[in-house]
Amino acid sequence: MICAPRERVFDLARSIDAHQDSTGGTGERAVAGVRSGLIGLKDEVTWEARHLGVRQRLTVRVTAFARPKHFQDVMISGAFKSMVHDHEFAEHPAGTLMIDRFEFKSPLGILGGIVDRVFLAAYMRRFIVRRNEVLKQLAESAEWSRYLERT
């Protein structure tokens, strides 16, 4: 739950700059594709970050976009076998309910499935929750205007 207008929360969630600032623990940065500003339909971005002690690259494409309700990014190259991330934003009397659905599969068949369930799912959940806590702080303060033009 974020006490801010849905449009603001939606746009912060698709801000490359806010994303980089909200993932400080992994040193995540955009290295190709859209590297600053807001991503939109069919845009691609390649992220480089250190996860689990390993520097990795992940390229995603925005495959669905309905401002200010929903957008989806899908991995087109990276460490996962597959990855789909849905970002949903619902109006609520207190502001905006932000919902993330993050579905992924690791390579390596059955072994990858075990790693996903035993370890990686919890790691990814913590990563997304920490990122969303920063987005919440930005959206609920005047800091959001560093990333978005005032309208």
pLDDT tens string 19-37: 999 987 788 999 999 999 9
Structure tokens belonging to residue 86: 């849905």
pLDDT tens string 68-122: 999 999 999 998 999 999 999 999 999 999 999 999 988 877 877 887 788 889 9
Pick the CATH number of 6-146 from 3.30.530.20, 3.40.50.970, 3.40.1160.10, 3.40.50.2000: 3.30.530.20
**DSSP symbol at 118:** I
Closest Cα partner for 79 from 55, 51, 56, 62?
56
Q: What is the mean pLDDT of the chain?
A: 93
What's the predicted TM-score (pTM) here?
A: 0.92
Confidence of residue 150 (pLDDT cuts 50, 70, 90): low
The residues, ordered by sequence, that sit 6+ positions from 60 with a Cβ below 8 Å of its Cβ are 44, 45, 47, 73, 74, 75, 76, 78, 83, 85
Give, rounded to a whole angstrom, the gap between the first and last alpha carbons of the chain: 23
The domain ranges of the chain are: 6-146
Question: What is the reported pLDDT for 92?
Answer: 95
